[in-house]
Amino acid sequence: MQLEEILTPDRCQCNMDGVSKKRILNNISELISKNIDALEAPEVFNALMEREKLGTTGLGNGIAIPHCRVAPCDKIIGSLISLAEPIDFDSVDGKPVDLLFALIVPEQKTDEHVQTLAALATLFNDEDFCFTLRHTNDGEDLYNVAVTY
C-alpha cells in the first residue's frame, strides 16, 4: 500500500481542535465529505461511531486509526490528523491520542481493508515517523512526511 493512493494533502490537517473522540470523528467526517462528493458527513460520522462501539481504534502511544465501511465509498480513503491537544480516545494503553489516521473503506473491500490497517499499524509503530508527524505544522507538510516516509 502506498499512502498517496489513499491520502491527499487536503485530507491532512495539523493541530485540529477537539475536546472529545466524538467531536474529532465529526470533524474528520466533515473534512472527508468536503473532499469526496459521494460521501455525506453524517453517514461517515455514524459509521465511525458504530465502529467505535465495537471496540476502540486507539492503538496506544497516542495513535488511533478510526476506520469504517461506507456503502457509497468506491475506493479506500484516508485522512491524517494531528491534534492541537491530546484527547481521551479509550486507547488500549489508556494514554490520550494526538495522531489519527481515519480510514473509510468500500463495503466489499474486506481484504484490502485488513491489509491497509495492518500497514498503517506498522507505520505508526515507528517512533521516528510519529515524532516527525508530531513536529509538523501544516497539512501539506503532514502529507509530504506521510507519503515519503
Catalytic positions, written as ranges: 67
Among residues 118, 16, 125, the alpha carbon closest in space to that of 61 is found at 125
Give the cell for residue 89: 480516545
Query: What gap in Å lies between CA 52 and CA 89, rounded to an integer?
Result: 10
Query: What gap in Å lies between CA 78 and CA 80, rounded to an integer?
Result: 7
Q: Which residues contact 147 (CB under 8 A, 6 or more apart)?
A: 2, 3, 4, 7
The number of residues making up the chain comes to: 149
